[in-house]
Amino acid sequence: MPLPRFDRLPAERRELILGVARRHFAEHGTEGASYNKIIEAAGVSKTAAYHYFDGREDLLTAVLDGVFERLLDALGPWVPARDEADFRSRFAGGSAALAAHLRDHPEDLALADAAIGRTHAGPWLAWFGALVTDGQRLGMIRTDVDHELLVSVTAAVIRAADAWALARMTTEHVLPDAADFPEDEASAQLWCLLHGLWGGAATPAATTAGEEPTDAQ
């Protein structure tokens, strides 16, 4: 975490330093970015830098903390659903919001895996744990697989689906506008994967409340 003197800087100055660092880590990787180049680009002397951070790892932690907080903010808290239709609506909304955030913030996209895996696997998986538990309560998600394993795989599938959709958007040269983002197609692909993962309960087509899924779905 930053040293107390960093927290006493004006908010604009703090964000400038962290923004420069985030760009360097996103462009050069969490292992490849140069601490000296970061502080130079941010207009911070070496002496001042060591009053703000204990070193490179401390700065990286501060950057990843910010990335992680924005990812969770994009998802929003999981609220127990009223029924299957409400569950799907809430899930689709959170997934779309996360994908949109990553689309609009490519530096966060580049650092997302590091932010989640470095120190935040617990809080990140807690969100998906609440989702899976709620789905099991509604009878939508299988209960014959270890809960922690199911949560981890669900989180990994959703993260991979977001990365796939954004990579496809980039390679097809789609303008980064919300109206152009292939949300419906990405959502259908995601639910197809989750259908198998969750035991066939989640179907690509919207299921009406009270309707039982069939093996043919």
pLDDT score of 171: 58
pLDDT at 199: 84
pLDDT at 80: 96
pLDDT 10s digits, 106-148? 999 899 888 988 766 788 889 999 999 999 999 999 999 999 9
Concatenated DSSP letters of 111-154: HHHHHHHHH-HHHHHHHHHHHHHHHHHTT-S-SSS-HHHHHHHH
Q: Looking at beta carbons, which pairs linking 14-20 to residues 24 or more positions away fall under 8 Å?
A: 16/42, 17/42, 17/44, 17/52, 18/62, 18/63, 18/66
The pTM of this model reads 0.76
Q: What pLDDT was estimated at residue 20?
A: 97
**24 and 37 in contact (C-beta within 8 Å)?**
yes
Q: Which of the 8 DSSP states describes residue 205?
A: S
Reply yes or no on whether the pLDDT at 157 is more than 80: yes
The dotted CATH code for 4-65 is 1.10.10.60
Domain boundaries, the chain: 4-65, 67-197
User: Which of 4-18, 30-44, 155-169 is predicted least confidently?
Assistant: 155-169
Give the best-scoring range by mean pLDDT among 12-16, 178-182, 206-210: 12-16
**How much is the pLDDT for 138?**
94
Helix boundaries (H) for the chain:
4-7, 11-28, 35-41, 46-52, 56-75, 84-104, 106-119, 121-137, 147-171, 183-197
